[in-house]
Structure 1
């Protein structure tokens, strides 16, 4: 057992990213049943929907699972209360100050992990009392760090600063990537994009199939004035670039973004006007598979490459 498998009482140190519109109870329970840690993505759920997904997840797995909570979303107080009432034991927080809720969650017997994009915020999370941090590199899909630090440099820098367990995220979808992250100092990995392209993901099939077609250079981080987000370059992305050419105000950017564009793209399958969030690693994802197959493939490759090092280099 390593620090992460021990902390969460799981078989493999693989955590599924709690992505909006992709991470319902079916995905979370499947990852947990496969030996990792599944996360329900609360960011795209109204409080009553979250409660329903937690209950369905409990019915679908007897293994540990958690909830990912972006703290800048509305209804945060109600969401936290539901998590406590429903007996969820693991919470991943992001997009906010970890001091706000960590103490309250831990007082209710919940293990707390915070997602960061820099060593500075990793230290703040540790000071706030979290049990572990996820250090997410700039390669990641969805909302991203402003510092633009890549996983390869971020992980060892964060490792040097903190004493609590460290989970690497951003650009990891294979056993080789997992091994590389752990060699750099991570105790486990969080994978988002790889699990988007799974049968159990709640993403629309149109989006899943588009992920399979993504090549190197087909994603870009944009909307830094609002909240940096990595998107596939579709019509909506091109419309954004045309607006940027006119030096828009923040209000003009907000107006073009509108409401529910991420739901439109990833959940409803509008590949033209929707917001399609995925990581750079999508260029290595070529097939939609079951969660069980994905986890076993990652672990098999991890073990194979780790065992081959002695023969290859020494």
Structure 2
């Protein structure tokens, strides 16, 4: 029995990343209905909006789903209270200390998973009492670790250090990628970019089309002084690089970033001035299709690749 399917009571060990401006209830419920674990991305939602999405998700699926909570955002106490009040059973925390909320959530009977980018933080999450960790490699889109450790090396390193279930993330969009991560020691995978380019993703169609058009080398991890983020190389990205040439202060970087730039890019579709976050694997994503098809294709490819590997021996 697979540890991740057992932990979440799902059919396939596939978790959908809780991406800001992409992961509304439509995406989360579609992934859950397809046999994976859908996550609502609380990072881009005011508390009342999050409550509405949780309520709509409960109506759209009778399968398990969860909420992803980046702990660097404001209103965290209110968000956690809503999660408890609405009876959410699974919470993924990220961008913060797992000790802060894990015991509170566990006392309420909630399964807790923490996202990390290193073995050191994976151990800290295990010590904090989480049920599983997501180890996310440098290839991932959105906010990322400073270490620049790739998924290929991160997963076996984390596996060596922890005993709890391990979910691999960063650069996984195919069944072959899923198999590779599991051979390296992961019990399941978290998939972000591939689901961002789905029919049910809440992001703007301009952003989805940009993902599909992206080629190898079209993204870069930057803004490490604020919070490292992998961006598509658009006008805003080039403005950031021009500012770096002047050896800017953190305040100058913050001033350029401004407010709501990710919303402007991914949700409102401003491809020039918006912050467009996606993983390196976008170079392998060539179409926008329904979640059901994405999951079916991943599982079919995973099974075919498993048979291919067996024939190599």
Report TM bin, short chain: over 0.9
Q: Which structure 1 segments of 5+ residues have no match?
A: none
Question: In the TM superposition, what is the alpha-carbon distance from 1:308 to its structure 2 partner?
Answer: 2.0
| SS of match in other structure, 1:98 | coil
- Distance in 2 (alpha carbons) for counterparts of 1:288 and 1:141: 17
Q: What does 1:56-205 correspond to in 2, within 5 Å?
A: 56-205=56-205
Aligned residue in 1 for 2:275: 275
1:219-248 per-residue CA deviation (whole Å, 9 max, x = no partner) reads 000100000000000000000011000000
- Distance in 2 (alpha carbons) for counterparts of 1:27 and 1:241: 33
Aligned residue in 1 for 2:27: 27
Question: In the TM superposition, what is the alpha-carbon distance from 1:282 to its structure 2 partner?
Answer: 0.1
Q: What does 1:207-222 correspond to in 2, within 5 Å?
A: 207-222=207-222
Task: Tell me the C-alpha RMSD between the 2 structures.
Answer: 0.4
1:57-115 per-residue CA deviation (whole Å, 9 max, x = no partner) reads 00000000000000110000000000000000000000000000000000000000000
Q: What does 1:226-265 correspond to in 2, within 5 Å?
A: 226-265=226-265
Question: In the TM superposition, what is the alpha-carbon distance from 1:307 to its structure 2 partner?
Answer: 1.3
- Distance in 1 (alpha carbons) for counterparts of 2:309 and 2:100: 44
- Distance in 2 (alpha carbons) for counterparts of 1:122 and 1:240: 31
- Distance in 2 (alpha carbons) for counterparts of 1:84 and 1:308: 45
- Distance in 2 (alpha carbons) for counterparts of 1:84 and 1:280: 35
Aligned residue in 2 for 1:10: 10
1:241-280 per-residue CA deviation (whole Å, 9 max, x = no partner) reads 1100000000000000000000000000000000000000
| SS of match in other structure, 1:146 | coil
| SS of match in other structure, 1:133 | strand
- Distance in 1 (alpha carbons) for counterparts of 2:240 and 2:117: 25
Aligned residue in 1 for 2:39: 39
| SS of match in other structure, 2:199 | coil
Question: In the TM superposition, what is the alpha-carbon distance from 1:310 to its structure 2 partner?
Answer: 2.1
| SS of match in other structure, 2:133 | strand
- Distance in 1 (alpha carbons) for counterparts of 2:252 and 2:101: 33
1:192-234 per-residue CA deviation (whole Å, 9 max, x = no partner) reads 0000000000010000000001111110001000000000000
- Distance in 1 (alpha carbons) for counterparts of 2:129 and 2:45: 27
| SS of match in other structure, 1:28 | helix
Question: In the TM superposition, what is the alpha-carbon distance from 1:54 to its structure 2 partner?
Answer: 0.1
- Distance in 1 (alpha carbons) for counterparts of 2:109 and 2:253: 41
Aligned residue in 2 for 1:293: 293
- Distance in 1 (alpha carbons) for counterparts of 2:142 and 2:309: 34
| SS of match in other structure, 1:67 | strand
- Distance in 2 (alpha carbons) for counterparts of 1:85 and 1:154: 36
Question: In the TM superposition, what is the alpha-carbon distance from 1:309 to its structure 2 partner?
Answer: 1.8
- Distance in 1 (alpha carbons) for counterparts of 2:176 and 2:164: 24
Q: Which structure 2 segments of 5+ residues have no match?
A: none
| SS of match in other structure, 1:153 | helix
Runs of 4+ in structure 1 off by over 2 angstroms are: none
